[in-house]
Amino acid sequence: MFLITHLSPISCFSATLLSSPLVGKIVKSMAVSEANNGRGELRILENLDELRTDLADYIAELSEEAVKERGAFSIALSGGSLIDLMGKLCEAPYNKTVDWAKWHIFWADERVVAKNHSDSNYKLAKDGFLSKVPIVPGHVHSINDSVSAEEAADDYMFVIRQLVKTRMVSVADISDCPKFDLILLGMGPDGHTASLFPNHSALNETDEWVTFIIDSPKPPSERITFTLPVVNSASNIAMVVTGENKAKAVHLAIDNIGPDCPSLPARLVHPTEGKMVWFLDKQAASKLDGLQFSD
């Protein structure tokens, strides 16, 4: 029997593995993450409160490292439950200790609606996070909400290109893709992530950094999204997934399920040079192979 303990000292939940495949995968993936064949590090948290604290610690640490190394922290957000789960960053000690002036905010995906619309990921982040910490307004790179989805994707690519030129956003070593310090992603029960949905042609986009869709199965239908090459060029990717309704998708996205493995978008996320961490609560992790929870 093996014990996975995830790295944060405050998050003392552990899971027992009854068989070796999962632990083999975790150890292997952590060991070879730079070689790009793992599914990343798993952090399975006892409850949402612990997940919030662990996620805030993780983001704060990455911010500190990036600011120390290159004087800026480029972070891309998603929509959904993520913003609420990042909420501890607005509280002590993070609200005082994080170097907010160095943050540059982007969106891994955005719904093509007005910025004050209740569906807007910008509005969600602004109300739940950005308005509560001293981020420089000029460092918040939201999409152009007054044009079509296609134009909004082009505009957003242009914005990112300018920031890559000035190195506010780094560039990947082995492609010309932007290399965000951190991309935060959620996952739907169908395995979609950002606005990359199962069997959608957007999954095959390799020429553009940002693409658009007008037929999202999750409303609203019009969205723009980072493409897989951009997602996978990030220095760090956090996949934050909670709730029992995601357990099957988590299993399909992480476990070794053989050749018939469906092309689940979340499974296609694996950083080329960076690191990936899964933040899961017990419910979302409940269908992972060989995992049994000890109370």
Ligand X SMILES: O=C(O)[C@H](O)[C@@H](O)[C@H](O)[C@H](O)COP(=O)(O)O
Closest residue to ligand X, based on beta-carbon distance: 80
Rounded CA separation 226/295 (Å): 39
> Is position 188 an interface residue for ligand X (rule: CB under 6 A)?
yes
Q: Which stretch binds ligand X (CB under 6 A): 1-9, 50-58, 74-82, 150-158?
A: 74-82
Rounded CA separation 139/67 (Å): 14
Considering the complex, what minimum distance in angstroms separates the CB of residue 114 from ligand X? Answer: 15
Considering the complex, what minimum distance in angstroms separates the CB of residue 283 from ligand X? Answer: 12
Considering the complex, what minimum distance in angstroms separates the CB of residue 218 from ligand X? Answer: 6
Which of 98/213 has CB closer to ligand X? 213
> Is position 222 an interface residue for ligand X (rule: CB under 6 A)?
no
> Is position 120 an interface residue for ligand X (rule: CB under 6 A)?
no
Which of 102/281 has CB closer to ligand X? 281
> Is position 79 an interface residue for ligand X (rule: CB under 6 A)?
yes
| Angle (CA) 3 9 10, round 5° | 110
Q: Which two tokens stand for residue 163?
A: 């920031």
Q: Are 287 and 249 in contact (CB under 8 A)?
A: no
> Is position 236 an interface residue for ligand X (rule: CB under 6 A)?
no
236-241/275-281 β-pairing = parallel
Nearest partner of 12 among 57, 60, 56, 44, judged by Cα: 44
Binding mask 149-168 for ligand X (x = CB under 6 A): --------------------
Give the ranges where 139-187 is alpha helix by DSSP (H): 149-165
Considering the complex, what minimum distance in angstroms separates the CB of residue 160 from ligand X? Answer: 17
Residue 293 sits at φ, ψ, to 5 deg, of -90, 140
State which of positions 81-100 bind ligand X (CB under 6 A): 81-82
Which residue's structure tokens are 């007054």? Answer: 146
Rounded CA separation 224/72 (Å): 25
DSSP state of 114: -
Which of 193/211 has CB closer to ligand X? 193
Considering the complex, what minimum distance in angstroms separates the CB of residue 9 from ligand X? Answer: 26
> Is position 186 an interface residue for ligand X (rule: CB under 6 A)?
yes
> Is position 191 an interface residue for ligand X (rule: CB under 6 A)?
no
Rounded CA separation 76/63 (Å): 12
List residues near ligand X by CB under 6 A. 78-82, 109, 111, 121, 186-188, 192-194, 218
